[in-house]
């Protein structure tokens, strides 16, 4: 099977089975999504969704969050991983939004990565989810599934290398959804340990050496 045929098969499967794949983070606007994605680093979406309602209630806008103190915000997110750093990042991010972008969330990767707490993965999530830009955020699930399905080469050993290979082969109109296809597949089927291979309809593509029966 050629690489093109493999990608076509994967895209066809997910298009038919998860046509409306989207983030599981709960948000109402770009600012809230940015806060949620920053909090989600090395943390589950479930935990983030339990935490953000109190944050959004107290700090509904970037202006409000920009005026927060560490001692005000930290108790609201202390159950999240790395709460010290994330508290500082969120306040710094909100302050920069106010000073540089008039309180609005910018919609380019280059601008977003200048914000405290925002790396390339987060910037790709924001631009693909909000603006449907063809940007591929590579988290641990996308990285694992892409390799197991043989969508990327074994030489793609970094998130950026995986991102570039996926972008190269996935048509632009599918990229913003493909990110969620791979995440959801990795989160619920192709899990890190003891993947649910019996439930995987595209298992014939899988190159994982420790398949479960």
Query: Which positions are catalytic?
Result: 121, 139
- Its sign, for the CA torsion 198, 169, 164, 22, is negative
Contacts 24+ apart (CB under 8 A), 5-11: 6/149, 6/150, 6/151, 6/205, 7/151, 7/169, 7/170, 9/202, 9/205, 10/149, 10/151, 10/181, 10/202, 10/205, 11/170, 11/171, 11/174, 11/178
Q: What is the CA radius of gyration of the chain?
A: 18
The CA distance from 174 to 16, in Å, is 13
CA atoms within 13 A of residue 45's CA, in its CB half-sphere: 13
The CA distance from 203 to 208, in Å, is 9
């Amino acid at each position: 099977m050629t690489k093109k045929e493999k990608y076509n098969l994967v895209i066809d499967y997910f298009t038919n089975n998860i046509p409306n794949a989207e983030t599981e983070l709960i948000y109402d606007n770009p600012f809230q999504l940015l806060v949620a994605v920053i909090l989600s680093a090395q943390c589950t979406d479930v935990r983030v969704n339990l935490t953000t309602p109190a944050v959004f209630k107290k700090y509904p806008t970037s202006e409000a969050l920009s005026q927060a103190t560490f001692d005000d915000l930290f108790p609201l997110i202390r159950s999240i991983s790395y709460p010290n750093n994330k508290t500082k990042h969120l306040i710094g991010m909100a302050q920069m939004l106010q000073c540089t972008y008039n309180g609005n969330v910018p919609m380019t990767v280059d601008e977003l990565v200048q914000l405290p707490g925002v790396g390339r993965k987060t910037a790709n999530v924001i631009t693909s989810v909000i603006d449907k830009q063809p940007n591929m955020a590579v988290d641990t699930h996308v990285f694992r599934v892409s390799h197991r399905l043989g969508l990327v080469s074994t030489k793609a050993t970094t998130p950026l290398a995986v991102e570039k290979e996926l972008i190269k082969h996935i048509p632009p109109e599918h990229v913003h959804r493909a990110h969620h296809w791979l995440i959801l597949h990795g989160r619920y089927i192709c899990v890190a340990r003891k993947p649910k291979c019996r439930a995987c309809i595209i298992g014939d593509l899988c190159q994982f050496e420790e398949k479960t029966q």
